[in-house]
A and B are shown apart, each in its own frame.
Chain A
Amino acid sequence: MKFRCERDVLVDALATAGRAVGGRGTQPGLSGVRAALTGDRLELTGSDIDLTISVGITVSGETDGVVVIPARLAADIVKALEPGAVSFAAVEDELKISAGRSEFAIRLIAGDDFPRLAELDVEAVTIGADDLAGSLGQVIPAASTDDSRPILTGVLVAAEDGGLRLVATDSYRLAVRDLDNAFVLSDGQSVLIPRKALQELNRILSGGADVMVRLGEREASFEVGDIRVVTRLIEGDFPNYRGLIPASHPNTLTLNREELLDALRRVKLLAREATPVRLDMSADGLELVAVTQDVGTAREQVEATYEGNDLTVAFNPQYLLEGLEVAPGDLVTLSTIDELKPALVRAVGVDDFLYLLMPVRFS
């Protein structure tokens, strides 16, 4: 294998493919990026078995071939080179990287160790990237990062009322987003896609192009331009999230989303060491209070209309912030039952998004 390529193009491609490469302690084959050259087409693939990212770029090819190169090292080297053309040449078990007066020879990884990637034999469905990008960003923050409950590290993608519904929860908050006219699944079908895969997908979605989605039994793939993300699906039953959403809330607070966000970010400075931010809600509006023992106190009044009984409810400010940040629109409502039951964040006049979160019990 031998080719030449612009340094910056190669840097980006190595970084993108490298994002699927496992961290420390992975088996040798998985710490590499597979480089396959056919004519002028170079495909770089990184994989940790669960997640695979492939990037295709156009290079000036000389000799076809397939090698597995150490991902981190190769990326660091190429990034550090002078701008301009970089040439890659595999000779026996070494890869020569040269640019200008720099020359590196690094040991290749045995190709047998690299995982075999299954092709998904399913018809592709095309979705607008912008729609999906916005929607993924709204639910991903609510998915769990705690591997002890694997089901919750996934985002539920379900066919719902002729559209697509995205659901994520880490058991403390729940985000639900509905997409119209996105017929990826057959009626009643649902899959559980790992948060990490969707995060990577979301990262490459910004191009504005379309996404080709393939959903298989055990895998899903997403293609955006020259980049393809393939992920294993999570097996198991997603919790009954519908049962969590209360049918009605006696108390509703309505206020400007940005004003609440700004106030919350300020008051949060005094909510340390797991102390919550308290929301005192009454006909006078909203007061945010944070008290950390031996540190101090923060208070802020926020203009709001409130219907219901006077209520003080406390939240982990980060959870509330993350919900408000992804809520659409200028006006939001916070609906509550009491200080121990789930509270609901919605955008006024927007039905396709909801964010439910559990309070913090404080004494």
Chain B
Amino acid sequence: MSHLSERPAAPVVGRTLPHESASLHVSGAALYTDDLVGRTAGVLHAHPVQSPHAHARVTGLRLDKALEVPGVVRVLTAADVPGVNDAGVRHDEPLFPTEVMFHGHAVCWVLAETLEAARLGAAAVEVDYEPLPSLVTVREAIEAESFQGAQPVMVRGDVAAGLDRATRVFSGEIEFPGQEHFYLETHASIAQLDENGQVFIQSSTQHPSETQEIVAHVLGVPSHAVTVQCLRMGGGFGGKEMQPHGFAAVAALGAALTGRPVRLRLNRTQDITMTGKRHGFHASWRVGFDDEGRLQALDATLTSDGGWSLDLSEPVLARALCHVDNAYWIPDICIHGRIAKTNKTSQTAFRGFGGPQGMLVIEDILGRCAPRLGIDPAELRRRNFYTEGQTTPYGQEVRHPERMELTWQAVLDQADLAARSAAIAEFNRTHDDVKRGLALTPVKFGISFNLTAFNQAGALVHVYKDGSVLINHGGTEMGQGLHTKMLQVAATTLGVSLDRIRLAPTRTDKVPNTSATAASSGADLNGGAIKNACEQITQRLAEVAAARLGVPAASIRFRDGMALSSDPQEGNHADPAEPHGISWEDLVVAAYFERVQLFAAGYYRTEGLHWDSTIFQGHPFKYFAYGAAAAEVEVDGYTGAYRTRRVDIVHDVGDSLSPLIDIGQIEGGFVQGAGWLTLEDLRWDESDGPTRGRLATQAASTYKLPSFSEMPADFRVSLLEHAHEEGVVYGSKAVGEPPLMLAFSVREALRQAAAAFGAPGTSVHLDSPATPEAVYWAIEQARAGGDTSVIEHAADHASRPAVPRDGHRVDGHGNGRDGASVDGTGAGHASATRAHAIPTDLERGAYPATPPAQVKR
């Protein structure tokens, strides 16, 4: 067992504890960024002027009338930017654009004494627009060959040979939309000036260091002049990984120019119309199976809808490609990826980060092909699981493939699947107007940022003379319970009780150069760093204790608020009844007087990772998280309305650091995934009318999140037992993202229930999201004989390409950035801002000036 994963006796990790802020949450005492407004004097409020066009040139901007509105103090425009007018890391996101790229794009920002005055001021700003042609759907972009960024290809083996070898070959398409994060707390920043022009920004950000970097380059100051703090977020889900930076920069710019605190909080309409979402995808595919249903080959092209700027689209696409296999061995495979450039919000990170989109492609394929193959869908899935010694298409050995089989079997047992399947068959036989479906789906999800460099973290641990401990780390708290776990890690390592430890808010002046709290990696990375810091301290304290106790320092253990000369439970102490030790408090005081350093900066980096994005090969993930879900639904044949009757989940979180937190992540992730797949319906105006490109579902009243009515009536979640993960902090595994993809079970159950309205063996295509309307049409399709959109190919023509590839085949990758200007939109901007950007890039260092198809995560 590795030192990192080994747990001491009676650890605080592994205990079932409520969220560390639960008592503040329930009493309304927990503070979020915008709660600080009333606690800050002299605040100015910011309000955007938003574009009414999907794509237009700004030909005139007149502020006079806005400045006449009582209470308006200033209007921020491009001319006010002392540094770089850009809010992104790829320099394709002008903060104050001269060409608006989507409906709702902010042209400029009004600062006023009240929010009402700022709103009225914004309404009084006069903007002249010259409308330009726009691309709103991913299909329009494909048609126009409007792509941006890298076009990677992931290849293993010979897909043509694989398709030729296959005895059953099918092709089809799927298109599915994105998802709005709908964190309950919208984006918020408050910026104020410290002495000497330094800026202090409180921001609802998952990535304080990058917020800091963007603010610094907009203001044209070094990073050390900008401090970003995040108290906590009211939900993030990836939506605050990249998107907060520009808003923080506007607030900071306002503060720098006026000398007053500036608050920028988006209301829901602004948030949903201005910020990026999960990427929708289009996929066309050709798949081959052998007679037993074993996957032989997959040839597919995945096109993500990136929106107007690159943002995180490249790494999202990379993760989609890396998860198109999900849990299945596909010997010969060729997946092309590309990013459509459309006139929409800049699509971004969202829990799963492309993984769900990649997996949806293969799960949809299996769900549609199983009836054609005459194989039960669950059996088809299981038959294709990875086994020991096999590798992913990108060349990483699949470690612990037996855990997939274990979780699957555990779900079969827990869900009493055989008996219930029989009961459902009987129910369906005796009911004409209502049908049930029960589906199982697996998840295998890679943990680590694809980009190796991001897999590092820092922490700062202080022990004060009274023995109390203050910890700081680079991760942010957005509800996922990271801080709870970090407190448990610190208490375990220091051997003190939780009430001795406090965790301070995340700040860039405490821990620098942090990675985003993202990729499910928060606990792995920051936990490693905190453990390292605590161990530096205990090693020093052990010397002090050892001298006092007259034993070797190596024999000192820290537990229960004591430094003990050895662990009594190990039985090697002379008299177990009388532990030979010194209390934590006494030891700390003694160490102080002996001039022993009582604080430490911890550091962690994940070992053993490598990734070459140019050839799409490597070992990008530390390990895989496994899970399986069984969902039962009931569908009404009159309306397509449905209910999720029961869900069983078995998920692999390693040895859980904090079971209540982990189960909460699994349940919450599952319901959020089910929301994406069944309910949440992003509708953009695709017409040629005056509101083309406008998001039609831009409010909670029209964009429906799961509510109590979507919670499975019977919801049973278990953690996989004996799941110790070697080489990860206290044997645990990441949990934030993987459970979201367990929700494929709901979609597949709906497909099966809809198919039950047709003859046995009917295959149906189910639109995504599977709203009652979509399910109703699937039922009608089943009644009419089933899906005709999947084509079966005669074996001798099997290897013909599934789709035209628009001329960029295997050489598609690597020509990344230049692709961004392929449609001409924004090209002028990009070059103008890039010229400014180069010195900042070098200064910031984190991003090479001209990265070859840079891939994050």
Partners in one complex: no
Q: Which residues of A contact B (CB under 8 A)?
A: none
